Amino acid sequence: MKILFVLPLAIGALTLVSGCNDNDNNSNAPEVTPAETSQPLIQLGPRPYFLVNDMDDGELKNALQACESLPPASSNFSIAHRGAPLQLPEHTRESYVAAAKMGAGIIECDVAFTKDRQLVCRHAQNDLHTTTNIVAVPELNAKCTKPFVPANPGAGTKAEAECRTSDITLAEFKSLRGKMDAFDENATTPEEYLGGTANWRTDLYATEGTLLSHRESIELIKELGLKFTPELKTPVVDMPFEGDYTQEDYARQMINEYIAAGVKPEDVWPQSFLLDDVVFWVNQMPEFGRQAVFLDEKSNDPDNVSMAYMESLTQKGVPILAPAIWKMLTLNSHQEIVPSEYALNAKAAGLDLIGWSLERSGPLAEGGGWYYQTINDAINNDGDIYKVIDVLAQDVGVIGIFSDWPATTTHYANCMGL
């Protein structure tokens, strides 16, 4: 069943179901326009409400509880990180559709290339051994950079494999089945190696995992009436690949597939961890470069949080900076979560911010793990995820948040007018 959603309101300049004040600082946020195609009926499921009920008592909890009766709607503030990989195999048709049904307004395809230089959706060029069933397909396992090697308990060695998209053709890639991103290091058979899913995830929905080329992801997301944030994955092979396929060829090819599909530049947020890719789009493909996203994984050394660093990015034309959540947050003297120096300097330099990634560290009851490392001491229950979202949205002023389970962010976006 499909229903046409008209998305009339905004958070900052981002689409919401209720309440808005235009935020001129979010210059790279999407314009508010009616959906041009039908979208799935939005169904947030029980998780957002479970998390709200787990929150500490206070105004934020009361506000989110009061919004539970609102009809949910898609929001560009809610960005699907690889689809919905908390419970469904990442970068698969099923995972993207699930994310759309949870109200993600923007869906991510991480882009890698195959041996025949076709673009596909994979988080890394060399993750096929953990995200697909390739090691259990003998003829394709044999083509892997490092075919499956079983564990040897007697010798104390662990199971190993490395399979790259560039090891196989697009047709061979399409013959594989997506699975939850995991492996069993103690496996003695290929079938055992496919296990290892974390106990806070599930294999319940991993019986189907339809892999997608980048072009197919574009068509699917268009059909869903949503927007795009492709990430050009850093190659693990030497570039130029096979001597003549350069990094610029790769970066240009990704954008050209949107042009060929008739996608408007304002509906695309191209990303890369390589600053040179972002600068290339800004200078060589400026219509798409206006919303280019630099994914920042630098450490929080003083030089990497300074105003000089932020201004160096704006001088290169970078419009949007996307760090891990922890880089934008810190604790004040009262152990309250507040914007970090990094976030304050980025905003002062004129950079828009996007955060990654919620719902990726497992339960937050024990401090939240790597993604919350600067604020672990202020986190003691799963409901604290909404405290984190609230500070990112209201105090840091991010224009969107990646999540492995977009319903959580969608509920906040639907509820809170800025």
Write out pLDDT tens, residues 273-294: 999 999 999 999 999 999 999 9
Q: What is the mean predicted confidence (pLDDT) over 325-347?
A: 98
Q: Looking at the domain assignment, is residue 180 inside a domain? A: yes
Tell me the pLDDT band of 179, cut-offs 50, 70 and 90. very high
Give the percent of the chain with pLDDT over 90.
Answer: 89
Higher pLDDT, 397 or 15: 397
Taking the model in full, what pTM does it have? 0.91
- What is d(CA 73, CA 6) in angstroms, rounded to the nearest whole number? 9
Q: Looking at the domain assignment, is residue 251 inside a domain? A: yes
Whose structure tokens read 């949107």? 258
- What is d(CA 218, CA 230) in angstroms, rounded to the nearest whole number? 10
Q: What is the mean pLDDT of the chain?
A: 92
DSSP 8-state secondary structure symbol assigned to residue 22: -
Give the percent of the chain with pLDDT over 70.
Answer: 90
What is the model's pLDDT at position 418? 52
CA dihedral (186, 189, 192, 193) positive or negative: positive
Exposure string of 44-54, with b = 16+ CB inside 10 Å and e = fewer, is beebbeebbeb
CB 220 within 8 A of CB 129: no
Write out pLDDT tens, residues 70-97: 999 999 999 999 999 999 999 999 999 9
CA dihedral (48, 50, 52, 55) positive or negative: negative
- In this structure, which amino acid lies at residue 212? L
- What is d(CA 22, CA 17) in angstroms, rounded to the nearest whole number? 14
Write out pLDDT tens, residues 235-264: 999 999 999 999 999 999 999 999 999 999
Q: What is the mean predicted confidence (pLDDT) over 375-394?
A: 97
Tell me the pLDDT band of 138, cut-offs 50, 70 and 90. very high
Q: Looking at the domain assignment, is residue 88 inside a domain? A: yes
CB 123 within 8 A of CB 131: yes
Q: Looking at the domain assignment, is residue 22 inside a domain? A: yes
| Residue 27 pLDDT greater than 70, yes or no | no
Q: Which of 20-34, 276-290, 323-337, 394-408 has the lowest mean pLDDT?
A: 20-34
Q: Looking at the domain assignment, is residue 31 inside a domain? A: yes
Q: Looking at the domain assignment, is residue 318 inside a domain? A: no
Q: Looking at the domain assignment, is residue 304 inside a domain? A: no
Cα 84 to Cα 20, 46, 121, 206, 377, distances in angstroms: 27, 15, 14, 12, 28
DSSP 8-state secondary structure symbol assigned to residue 299: -
What is the model's pLDDT at position 26? 43
| Residue 322 pLDDT greater than 90, yes or no | yes
Q: What is the mean predicted confidence (pLDDT) over 18-34?
A: 39
336-341 own/partner pairs: CB under 8 Å, 24+ apart:
336/378, 337/375, 337/378, 337/387, 337/388, 337/391, 338/391, 338/395, 339/391, 339/395, 339/396, 340/300, 340/305, 340/374, 341/305
What is the model's pLDDT at position 177? 98
Higher pLDDT, 45 or 27: 45
β-pairing, 14-16 vs 9-11, is antiparallel
- What is d(CA 368, CA 396) in angstroms, rounded to the nearest whole number? 20
- What is d(CA 116, CA 227) in angstroms, rounded to the nearest whole number? 27
CA atoms within 13 A on the CB side of 162: 8
- What is d(CA 179, CA 201) in angstroms, rounded to the nearest whole number? 12
Q: What is the mean predicted confidence (pLDDT) over 263-271?
A: 98
Q: Looking at the domain assignment, is residue 382 inside a domain? A: no
- CATH code: domain of residue 68: 3.20.20
Backbone angles phi, psi at 72, to 5 degrees: -70, 150
Tell me the pLDDT band of 40, cut-offs 50, 70 and 90. confident
What is the domain extent for residue 218?
Answer: 2-43+57-298+393-406
What is the model's pLDDT at position 53? 98
| Residue 28 pLDDT greater than 90, yes or no | no
What is the model's pLDDT at position 244? 98
What is the model's pLDDT at position 357? 98
Whose structure tokens read 């800004």? 282
Exposure string of 395-412, with b = 16+ CB inside 10 Å and e = fewer, is ebbbbbbbbbbbbbbbbb
Q: What is the mean predicted confidence (pLDDT) over 65-72?
A: 95
What is the model's pLDDT at position 12? 32
Report how many domains make up the chain: 1
| Residue 36 pLDDT greater than 60, yes or no | no
